[in-house]
Each structure stands twice: as C-alpha cells, then as structure tokens.
Amino acid sequence: MPWYSPFPVIAFFFGLIFGSFYNVCIYRLPRDESIVKPRSFCPGCGKTIPWYENIPLFSYLFLRGKCSTCGATISFRYFFVEFITGLAFGFSVFHFGLSIKSAEFIVLSSLMIILFFTDLDERILPDEITLWFIPVGLVFAYFSMERTVLESILVAVLGAGGLALIAWIYFKVKKIEGMGMGDIKMLALMGAFLGIKAFLALLIAAILGTIVGIFIIYVLKKGKRYEIPFGCFLSIGTLVAYIYGNEMLAWYVQRFIVH
C-alpha cells in the first residue's frame, strides 16, 4: 500500500482502541475475571475510570501515569500495549493492504500481544486465547494462499503433541516441569495460524529464549530455577515467522539445500 494512503493511519487509531481493551484482557483473564463487567477501574482504590480518563495514550500522558483519585502509579504497560497494538494494526494494513491476510495478521498480532504480557506478568497463557482461537486460525487457513486447513490441523496436532512429549521426557529425567501446558496449547494455536512456519517460529523462540535465559541466569544471577516466560518468545517468533517466514525458508533452502 502506498505510504501516503490514509488507511494505515486509520488502522493505527483503531488499534489504540483495541489495545485499551487488550489491557483489560491482560489484567483480568489470568484472574478468571469477566472482561465485560465491571467497567475499567483503578486496581489501587477501585474507582471506576470515567471515559475521559480512558482515552488511549492521551489519558496516560495527561494523568502522568497516576490515578486521579488515589495517586497510585499506573503501569507503563498500559500505554505500551495501546501503542504497539496501534503499530501492529497500522503495519498490517500498510504491509498487506486491505486483504484477508491483513485481517489475519491483525487477529494474530492481537493474540500474541495478550499472550506475551499475560505470560510476562503472571506466567499464564489463558485457554480463552490459546484454545478458543484455534478454529479462527483454521478459518483463515481456508482462505489462505500459503497453507491449507489440513496443514494447519496437522501442524497444530503434531507440533503440540511433540512438544508435550518433550516436556514429559524432561519431567521424567529432571523431575521438574520444564514447560507448562500453556506453551503446548499455544503451539497448537500457532500451528493453526502459521502451518509449517510454526516450527520456524518455535526455532526462533528457542534461540531467543536461550540467549535471554543465559543472560538472566548467569549475568543477572537469578538462578537456574528462574521460570523463563517462554510464551513471550513464542509470541515474538510467531510474528516474525508470519511476516518473514517465506523469505527465511527460501533463504535456507537456497543456502543449504539447493547448493
């Protein structure tokens, strides 16, 4: 889409609105609370936040990151989630145009943003995201030019099953849980949306997780029992594989197989 098109800008502002809602999901889903009722409130004093204090980005800046009633600090995460969601929506329309693929990336990036922060904050990957949206990924697979529904189903089942087997073997050998069921369910979600590229996403996540894990354990001295939020790296790997997966796989085939 041309850089001067207004649609990416419009998508960006819609993304800000959705990002505000995703903040609600990130806070409430791990706590098994309704994402519909009650209205947004301050976790510090419980005051319902009026609409004019709930405008994406601007309210946070206007309030200087504090509740207007009790003065409790509002996490910068609220501002950041709104902003990156807006960027994701705008990028999708700019990169993929007004298309089904653009709609798919908007849905997928939204899910990954929610999962990234629920795992980072609470070490939880909610079933409401990982399981409930698998059928949505299969619907998009039906319209996709890059994967089939059968491919998505096979990758979701085999990928999640393989990861579950690895986690089981690790538990039997080490006697500790090395990977939670949430990560396994998330891989099934990734398979539904990515098809075979889900394995590329898993590889990217493993590399990033290893690098960050080594830094946290040996540089920050958190200890070997520190729980790495692997879902965060799966989220990043998923989006990278969705955007650049075809090019990365083509480079690999050209570099290591053709020659």
- Is the pLDDT higher at 4 or at 11? 11
Sign of CA dihedral 44, 46, 47, 48: positive
Q: How many Å apart are CA 109 and CA 8, to the nearest integer?
A: 15
Q: How many Å apart are CA 38 and CA 49, to the nearest integer?
A: 11
- Is the pLDDT higher at 170 or at 14? 14
Per the DSSP assignment, residues forming a β-bridge with 147 are none
Mean pLDDT of 38-53: 82
94 contacts: CB under 8 Å, gap ≥ 6:
1, 3, 5, 7, 8, 11
pLDDT of residue 223: 63
Is the separation of the CB atoms in 31 and 127 below 8 Å?
A: no
Angle at 157 between CA 154 and CA 160, to 5 degrees: 130
Cα 129 off chain centre by: 10
Mapped onto helix, strand or coil, the DSSP state of residue 65 is: coil
What pLDDT digit, counting tens, does each position of 164-205 carry?
888 778 777 766 666 678 999 999 999 999 999 999 999 999
**Six-digit token pair at 104?**
């798919």
Mean pLDDT lowest among 145-149, 203-207, 214-218:
214-218
Q: What are phi and psi of 73, to 5 degrees?
A: -70, 135
Give start and end residues of each alpha helix (H) in the chain: 7-28, 58-63, 76-96, 100-122, 127-130, 134-143, 149-174, 181-194, 197-214, 230-252
What pLDDT digit, counting tens, does each position of 131-144 carry?
999 999 999 999 99
Is the separation of the CB atoms in 161 and 181 below 8 Å?
A: no
Is the separation of the CB atoms in 208 and 237 below 8 Å?
A: yes
Asked whether residue 2 carries a pLDDT value surpassing 70, the answer given is no
Is the separation of the CB atoms in 209 and 217 below 8 Å?
A: no
195 contacts: CB under 8 Å, gap ≥ 6:
141, 144, 146, 147, 148, 151, 152, 155
DSSP string, 9-63: HHHHHHHHHHHHHHHHHHHHGGGT--SSSS--B-TTT-PBPPGGG--TTHHHHHH
Asked whether residue 3 carries a pLDDT value surpassing 70, the answer given is no
Looking at the chain, the whole-number percentage of residues with pLDDT higher than 70 is: 93
Q: What does the mean pLDDT of the chain come to?
A: 89
What pLDDT digit, counting tens, does each position of 55-104 carry?
999 999 998 888 887 888 889 999 999 999 999 999 999 999 999 999 99
